Each structure stands twice: as structure tokens, then as C-alpha cells.
Amino acid sequence: MKREWLLFCGALALLKSTSAFSIPIAADRTSPDWATALPAATAAADITVTGTITDERNQGLPGATVVVKGTTIGTGTDDKGNFTLRVPEANANGTLVVTFVGYLAQEVALNGRTSVNVQLRPDAQALKEVVVVGYGTQKRSDVTGSVVSVPTDRLEKLPVGNVAQALEGAVAGVTVATTSGAPGAQPRIQVRGVRSITANTDPYIILDGVPFPGNLNDISPTDIASMEILKDASATAIYGTRGSNGVILITTKHGKTGKPQIRYTGYAGPEYMTNTLKPMDGPAYAAKYQAYKEQAKITGDPLPNFGELENYKAGKTTDWLKLIGQQGFVQDHNLSFSGGTPDVKYYLSGDYFKQKGILRGYQFQRVSIRSNLDANLTNWLRVGTSAFYASSNDDGGQVNLALAQAMSPYGVPYNPDGTYKIQAMQPEALFVNPLLGLTTTRVSKVNQLTGTLYAEVQPTFVKGLTYRLNGSYSYRPYHYANYTGRLANDLRGTGVITNDERHNYTIENIVVYNRDFGKHHFDLTGLYSAQQNTYFTTTETASGFISDQTGYNNIGSGSIPPTLSSYDERRSLLSQMGRLNYSYDSRYLFTVTARRDGSSVFGDQASKYATFPSVALGWNVANEQFLKDNGKVNLLKLRYSYGITGNEGINPYQTITGQTQLQYTYGGVTFTGLRANTLGNSKLKWESTTSSNVALDFGLFDNRVSGSFEYYDARTKNLLLARLIPIINGYSSVLDNIGRVQNRGIEVALNTVNVQHGDFTWSTSFNFTRNRNKILELYGNGTDDIANRRFIGKPLNAVYDYKMIGVWQQGEDPSGLDPGAKPGDLKFADLNGDGKIDSNDRMYLGTSLPKYTAGLTNTFAYKGLSLRIFLQTAQGILRSNDILNRADFSYRINQPAAVGYWTPENKSNDRPALSYFNTRGYSYPKDASYTRLKDVTLSYALPQTLLDKLKLGSTSVYVSGRNLYTWTDWIGWDPEQNYTQGNGSGNGIPSGIGANFPLVASYVFGLNLGLR
């Protein structure tokens, strides 16, 4: 940061010390990043021309460029759009050319005038012309691969701490699953389906042009300027081994030429449970136990535990959900400073995000600082830095929702002294007080420090040639500490401390040659890069503490000696890449790419290198003569691509045989030796995905109807799976390259301007994705893997179970088909027709992967007022419902009132009796499809006349609601949630961050404020 500040101050001093200088202005350099505040040319001048350049709302445009046509004489407008230009007498009757990025250039004849005011009109096409692709940018009309830009309204005015949450349902081909509503939980992103079984399936993240080793929780959404997702092989093959799961390109905000801009962006508001799955109240709970006693033919107390009887007799109940809950609240505040001169531009921001969960003990906090600096040192050398630091934590002991739902309403939460009662349903010991987690001491902190430096050289002796050097370093330390003591039902006390750190280095050499020769356009890109990632972790665990006072701070004081462990790994990647983009007359497009990667994780009996090629063709039909003057067709482009991408798939050292310590005795003496514990395979190689993509892009009726249709087919081979081997070898399995998976589907994106009348506009955006996932091969022997629920010809994430056809009722005779069954037990279909129900009657029932997803956004705008309504849906999902699977606990614990149970009187044909023991392990698969009112935002941009009076820049206010309502047949907290029953460890601690945390609805008020 200090070096950046010195460079910035030095550049300012240099500019101040230069009283006058002349800069040649090229006619095509219209970007406001360089144009503002250009000094007037020092050529002899006899006429002084003044004026104001305004936009379509008559607001001054700072940074617009005013040039005397055919000369290098020009200037830029100030922060109010005013300019002063000295024009030679010879050009007194000349023409001024006025340009500003995103607006149509305008020529104005002087005719001897000394005062000229110009109003520019927006160029809607120019605003969408450039899109970020891998290692550079392209005109959108020339893009041949599948590249989709995330709508800017999804990056603004949404109360999300993780930008992935803004993508859910908003982008065709991208599936985002929010499996937990816990603060700081990371959504799962998949691009065009699941392409691997055991390897990582997350998309590759590129931040400001370089690989980002952190996660999206580290990045403040407010700092993001644009976000693109690369989906097909033509777009992702340039990332080689990292491209098979798609690539997310994130570009943060940079400074622009002009007066310094100060902006505050923030929001705050409450959060609530979207769906409360209420347990049975007191009378219903007692009636349930009475029904169980009748079914089990037992007698006894009216409740299963004597610790509940006092409250039962007194009619006193406890609302456990209310006890573990709290008022949620989310807030985010971002303050940024940006600006610069034509040669030095800066952007500095600070962000504070805080989310207080709706369950006690859950919270997430992030503080981040970002600094971006760009400087033109000479007319051929440009340098810059980008640095950011993020510190986040989710500290604190946490309550347990699963246990709270299991608690008896007559349970006792507190001891007489106010401490938490461990056995709230005494003597029930398996399901303990859900508040016990609040007594633990827990620290979980992560820091992310990332810095990049680039130098860009454009030699003056070779037109169109650019060399860029990128260097990046990232440091990510993580600290976790936890102590569970006697108040949390751990009578010995247990302390755990984990520290780990990651170091990531990247250096890239990029050469670009970009030229036009008549109607021929060439864009050549070459890359040579090296990456190295290191990881080191240590963990200390101890128990048997005399007292809980010191917790983990004196972990060596445990009577049971501490267990120490550590792990260290390093991986490196060496890459070369070449790409050619060619277009003829913006009609015929051609892209060819090849990347060669070498990875250190592979064994010495297989090549550490692999090459990933791709090719793409495009045809801008709308630019043909027979359509060029057609006013109804603005865009019509056909695209086709084919290529190969890769996935490393394994961690370092998995190709070698591992060893572990072994104690043995020889001659009465104990020795320590080594024995092999995992069998390595030095022939392991990449997983590779071969994919093709066919697409049609269109824009009709002045682009009031636009969008795209795409079809893709991606096949992944050499999957890394554990292959079974004869145990006589000393091992039961070995990792090998076997198996193939296919993903194919269609994607539709449609944008329409339905009404455009005066100041009122109604527009709609719709996207639809249908993906078909299928296992083509597993272990090379044509057999299914039933144990892991993998079936050839079926999708991954399969649900393999019995087919339930009802419940055995009184009067029915199950003895022939299911001899052990009785009325109230689940009834299953005899699928193989052998006259009995056994494990052979299980079948493939479906998959948790959706058959299709879609999103619909309607935006209504009137003057400064805008209303956006977004609906999202995911259909064809089948998931096991753990809420319904109470096993043999039904009589011992409470259950949701919506679940219900069979009795001889109600004759339920869907739910079993309370006495039913789920000995077959039936998982209760249910339809988890849903449609959700994802978010609604009402915003208002203050009029410029008011802003002028208040001396403010652009300012808007908004209210936004998120996760407002869900239509679903799913019984549970939410169809996206991963829910598990209360654990049996007796400590009441969730199994990890976000375990059993429901989805939340947020209602916030936001303000975007610009200061002049």
C-alpha cells in the first residue's frame, strides 16, 4: 500500500510541475479513462471556444473528449461537463468531434462560433460491445464461445455477503444450491452439470485476470464491476486443467479519469425464518406417546421420561425453537474513493459486512480493504497493482436446531442455578439440551491477503503488439480453536487447536498481437505461466483437563497427552497457451486455442503434461448484405465450438504408496516401525472433458427481443475412482483412471422490452436450463456400484431405495410378502416378483440433480422509480428426507407437527406407526422441487435537480426483500437444505458450520450515495 501511495503522489507531483504540454489524440481513443482534463494543445490559437457536453438528461458529462477534426488539438470536460478549447484561426470554421464511452460520437460545425453546447445520445450497442474473456476482452459480436455476463442488477441492491447467492437462478447453465442459510456458509456452484464423481467440481475463479485461491466469501460484492462465466470448451480450454468445471471471471472496480469520487453503499435490515417447521405442542406430544403405548402394548407414565412429568402436571411447556432463536440482522457498509488523471487512476475501498444469524451463536463478520492503482508511466509502459485484504470469522458456540426439534415441550432447559440442564428430558441421554453448544469456547478466523502487480508494454515500433507481465501472491492463514467442557456434557474436557496456512504464487507472461488489415481482424494471444501452491497445517488435541478455566489456552495441561499431527503439501503447474481470434468483416469468426499444462501431482510413470485444444466458428448472419439493412434483425449469430478441458482431480502424493507408524514387539522390546496404508498408482493422469456447443444469438426489433439458444454435449473420461482389487495384495482398492460421465443439455436466455412508452418501461429476462447427467462407464466391467449408488446409464446423486406403495392397514395380510410386517408398517413393492420383500427389491428412483431450472425477472421503471421482481424454480428433484426418518426414536422424542403418524383410527397411507422400526433403512425419498419468489427490489434514483441543491452525486435508495416465499410439496425447513437428525454424541454440537440451519428471509433498506 505504501508503494502505491508513493507512486500515486509522485505522478501527481509530476503533473503539477508541468505547466503545459501537448498530447496527440487519436480519433478512436474515446474512453473517459484517459480523456478527462486533457490540457489544450499549445499550438497557436486565435479563437477560444467554450461549451458544455451533457447526457440525455442534460446532466454534464465529466471526461468527455472534444477534438478539432483532422488535428491533434483537443481537450476534456471538467466534472460539470464544461470545456475550454483554443482553436487556431485556420480551424475557425472547422468541426468539433465530441466522444464519450457508451455514447454516440457527434460532430459539430463551428462556423466561427465561440460557444458550443452538445448533448450526446446513449449508444446501447456500445455499452454491451466489450465482454471480458480469458486473458483479455473481445467485442461481444465477435465472441464464438459460450460466455455469459451476470446482469449488473444482480451485483447491486441485493443483501448478500457472497456474490454466488446473487447468481442462483439468474444465469442459464449455472446451478447454485444454498444448502445452508447459516451466516458464512458457502453456496455450491456447478456449471453445466456434475462432471466428476470424486474430484472437485467447483468452477475456477479468476480475479482481475489472475487465479484466485480463496473463496467468494472473501470478495465484497460491492467491489465487483463485472462478472462473466465461461461455459463451453472454446471459452474454458485456455485454462487447461482448471477449465472442465467452468470458469468465473471477476473484475473489480478501477478508478476513472476525473474529479475524485466518494461513494457510500450500504444496506441493513432484519432476517427471519422463511418456514418454521413447528414441533408438536404439549398435548399433541403427550397424545403421540399415548398412541405409541397402545401400538407397542405397554403401560406406564403418560410421558417417556420422568424428568418431563413435573412440567406436564403443571401444564408448563417450553418453546424450544424460540429458546434457540434470536432476531437475525444483516448489514453491509462500503466506502470507496476513486478518480485520477489521464495517466494515474486509483480506486480504494473499505467494506464491513456483519450477519447475525436467526439461531443463537451463529454469526459471520468480514472486514475487507481493496486498493487498485493504474499508471501510464510512458506512452509505451503501463503498470498497476491490485491488493486486497479480507478478515472474516464465524466465532462462537452454537445451538443445535436438530436437538431443539427433538426436545419434549415438557423438557427442562435450566437448572435451578440458571445453568443449562444437560439432560433436558432426564434420563434421556442421547438427545441432550440444544443450548449446550453456547457454553463452548470456539474461535474460527481466516485472513486472505492477495496482491498482484502488472506491467504492460506496448512497443511503438510494432503496432498492435502488447506484452503483459502478471505477478500475484496470496497468503491465507486460518486459525481454529475449540474447547468443550463439563457444562457441555464433556466430563473430561476436550480442547482442539488447528492452524494452517496457504501460500499461492502466480507469474504470467502474456503476449498479444491485435491488428486489422482491411476487413481482416487478427487477435493472437500467447501465454507462459507458472503457479505454485503450498499448504501446511498442524492440529493439537487434548482431553482430561482438571478444570475448564484455561480451556484450549493451556492445551498441554490435559491429563491425557495431547495428540499432535501435521501435514505439508506443495503443488506446481507450468503452462503454455496460444490462441487465435480471427474475423472477416465481422461476419465470419474463427477461434482456435491450445493450452499445455504440466502438474506436479501426477506420477513418474505417466506424463505430467497434457494438451487441451479447442476450436470455434461463428457467423454473424445479421452482417450479411441480405440482412444488413433489415430494421427488424439487429443480431443473428450462429456459433459452434469443440474442445477438451481437464481436471487434475487428485491431491499431491496420491500417486505414491503411503505409510503409517506401527508399534511391534521383538524380543520383549517394543519398537516403532512403518507399514504401508494406502496403495499408490504412479500411472494416474488427468480427468478430461470433451465437449461441443451449438448456439444461436439473436436480437430483433431494435433489440427489444434478444437472447440465445444453446445445446451442449460434454463427456468426461478417465474419472479418478477407487478400483477394487483382491485383498491378497494387502490392499482392498487403488485409485485409477476409470469411468466416464456425460452431461448434455439446452440453455435458453430471453430478454424482452414489453412496453416502452414515454417514461415507463417494462422489461423481462428469462432463462431456462435443462441438463441430463449420465454415467457411461464405471469400473470397466459393465456393472453398477450399488454400494455408492452409481448406476450405468443413470445420473449421479442417485436415489436407490425401495418403492413405497403405502402402509399396511388392519385387515390386510402381509405374511406372505413381508412376514415381519404388521399394521402400521410401511408397504413396499415386490419389484422382482419373487414373492418377498428384500434388498433385491430396491430400485433407482431418481436423482437429486434437477431436471431443469429457470429464472424470471420482471422490471418496471418509471422515471427514477424501478421495481424488480425475480422468480426462480428448480424442478424434477428427488431427495431423501431425513425429517421423516425418525427410525426407532419416534416415541422418545418430539417431531414436527406436519409429519404425522399412523394409527388404527386415521389409517394414514403415507406415514408409518410410531412403533415401526425402520430396519431396512428406507430413506423416505420425496419430491424436492420448488418455485421461489427469490427477491423483490424497489429503488428510487433521486432527480438531478435535487442532487444539485444538495451538492450530491448520483444517489439512490432502495428496499429489497430476499427469499420471500417458496412453493413446494417438501416437508422440511427448505427443499435445498441438508438436514440431519440430532447427533448421538451427546454434546449437542452441530457437525460443522451451517449444519441444520434453515433458509432465511431478508428485508433491507439500502442507500447508494455519491459525494461531489
DSSP string over 870-885: EEEEEES-EEE-TTT-
Q: Choose the most confident range, by mean pLDDT, from 34-48, 626-640, 976-990.
A: 626-640
Higher pLDDT, 460 or 33: 460
Q: What percent of the chain has pLDDT over 70?
A: 92
**Mean pLDDT to the nearest integer, 255-276:** 90
Q: Side chain identity at 903, as an amino acid letter?
A: T
Asked whether the beta carbons of 371 and 7 are under 8 A apart, the reply is no
8 Å CB contact between 41 and 76: no
Residues 159-209 pLDDT 10s? 888 899 888 888 999 999 888 889 988 888 999 999 888 888 899 999 998
Residue 94 identity (one-letter amino acid): G
Average of per-residue pLDDT across 963-978: 91
Encode pLDDT of 890-911 as tens digits. Answer: 688 899 999 999 999 999 999 9
Mean pLDDT of the region 498-502: 96
Number of neighbours of residue 611 by Cβ within 10 angstroms: 13
DSSP letters spanning 848-860:
SS-SEEEEEEEEE
Say yes or no to pLDDT of 80 above 70. Answer: yes
Longest dimension (CA), the chain: 112
Q: What is the pLDDT of residue 22?
A: 32
pLDDT at 983 over 50: no
Q: What is the pLDDT of residue 892?
A: 86
3-state SS class at 191 = strand
Other residues' Cβ atoms within 10 Å of the Cβ of residue 409: 21
Q: What percent of the chain has pLDDT over 90?
A: 56
Per residue in 945-959, pLDDT (tens digit) is 888 888 888 889 999
Average pLDDT of the chain is 87
343 vs 34: CA distance, rounded Å: 7
DSSP characters over 965-977: EEEE---SS-TT-
Contact 716, 737 (CB under 8 A): no
Is residue 404 within 8 Å of residue 893, measured between CB atoms? Answer: no
pLDDT digits (tens, 9 = 90+) for 477-499: 999 999 999 999 999 999 999 99
CB 341 within 8 A of CB 375: no
Three-state DSSP at 105 gives coil
User: Is pLDDT larger for residue 550 or for residue 35?
Assistant: 550
- Cα distance between residue 545 and residue 494, in whole Å: 7
Closest among 771, 781, 768, 915 to 854, alpha carbons compared: 768
Name the amino acid, one letter, at 16: K
Is residue 20 predicted with pLDDT exceeding 60?
no
pLDDT band at 664 (very low <50, low <70, confident <90, very high): confident
Contacts with 647 (C-beta within 8 Å, 6 or more apart), sequence order: 195, 196, 199, 200, 241, 242, 244, 245, 686, 687, 688, 689, 716
Measured between alpha carbons, how far is residue 981 from residues 157, 190, 431, 488, 490 in Å?
36, 27, 10, 19, 21
Handedness of CA 356, 361, 362, 365 (dihedral sign): positive
Residue whose entry in the numeric block shows the C-alpha cell 422382482: 832
What's the pLDDT score for residue 466? 95
- The pLDDT-based confidence of 15 (bands split at 50, 70, 90) is very low
d(CA 596, CA 15): 45
Element (H, E) at 465: strand 465-484
Give 818's DSSP letter.
-
Give, in order, the Cα–Cα distances in Å from 454 to each of 374, 375, 470. Answer: 9, 10, 5
Q: Are 571 and 652 in contact (CB under 8 A)?
A: yes
Listed range (288-292, 342-346, 803-807, 885-889) with the worst mean pLDDT = 885-889
